[in-house]
Structure 1
Amino acid sequence: MPVAAGSSKTAVLYRMVMPDHICPFGLKSLDLLQREGYEVEDHLLETRAETDRFKAGQHVDATPQTFIGGRRIGGYDDLLRHFGKSVAQPYLAYQPVIAVFGTAALMALAASWGVGGTALSVRTVEWLIAFSMCILAILKLRDLESFSTMFLGYDLLAQRVVRYAYVYPFAEAVAGILMIAGALLWVAVPIALFIGTIGAVSVFKAVYVDKRELKCACVGGDSNVPLGFISLTENLMMVAMAIWMIVKSIRPDGL
């Protein structure tokens, strides 16, 4: 993109645009400059050799690189700082947990409203737990190998039967799906009760008895969530749901 003649706000950007790779931070830098009102002289580095020559010539380790007023500003984070904007930080440890349960709660409210015309009901709570189980199972199944590795660090049954670490996410998903449908509860309830009880005991022992500092596999194998209250809550939630379903089936008219 040529710089407009006489423009008071101009910038020069060098970024990688190759057949097999378009640098996302280059695109972000271009977008940020344009939003800040700059005319951008956009130089595309279209080969690895061209990119390496540029980095060697500028004595930099990475692209993109932005120049304003003849002065090198740097990469995307440097550009953010130049404009007084905050630089993205690694996500907070509990951010995935908040995302899971927050989304599950909204889904439960929406489902309850759509089916019964009211947002808050007993079914809302049931759906909240069941939706949460399904979302958590998806996160585990996203990288089953990583999940199993982290899970083996504390789950008592998985340490004895390694294949259980691979079965767990599927069992959690099946139980959650059946509970959403309210079908085949004779399958869902025992599964939830079994994996929830084993999980709760395992977490309690690892955290509160052995005093170990571990990461929780509840939101997947790349989780930064500390093993503790959240993990225990996930398992107790499944146990509570299973018990509730048993009580509900015994006394359907009294609920």
Structure 2
Amino acid sequence: MNSAARTPITFVGGGNMGAALVAGLLKAGWPASLITVVETSSERRAQLISFYPGITTSEKIGACTAGVIAVKPPAAAETCAALAQAGATRVLSIAAGIGLTTLQSAAGATAAVVRAMPNTPALVGEGAAAISGSSQCVLADMEWAESVLGSVGTVVRVDEKLLDAVTAISGSGPAYIFLVAEALISSAVGAGLSPEISDALVRQLLVGSAKLLQQSAETPAQLRANVTSPNGVTASAIQALEQAGIRSAIEATVQAALLRSREMGS
């Protein structure tokens, strides 16, 4: 993160995602003195100060130059307007389903709005997020948003019309992976392993496989082939998955998420 990006920033909402971004920025070198978190819960404000010494917390939005909307979707537009009125010239929203037209209209002509779709692995610094800027955004606004979200993972730019697809893949995707983990653990127990051993093996299986996929130059198909000897155990397992319709099931999963995301955004 370049030093120019380290400017004062106000987070509205100190929940899991807001706190994850604060932690990411601090780890990336953003001075704690430049970070303010607006949170209505006094108990949560005390927790945040304990977790992240040096930051400022407040019950209400005060004067600011840049803001991040990390509240529930129904409050996003109102929060966007409040940030703009408080002086923010850049606003990043991670509220699901609230479009740029709504947000930019709330902000008015004085603030550029960037909409983002992050995911929960941001909580451990391994998030995947996509961003889209309103017509009022310039390159510097997009780079600022990337610097914020990039502190907790990977960031890509897409047209806003593709954010529903992003939601269906990486936004909801962690739940798909966790469901696979549930099924594997259940199958391991059914095969005779203890719940504790089953859980440990499956967790490490997913972590190790993800790291291998991330660090390898080979495609997922190639990595799968590397493990699959002809007529071997893995080949039998893959054949069973294919016969059970795993590809069509995944496609149906993504389409269902895509449809619902579009419905919620309309």
TM-score computed with the length of structure 2 as normaliser: 0.24
Structure possessing the higher radius of gyration over alpha carbons: 1
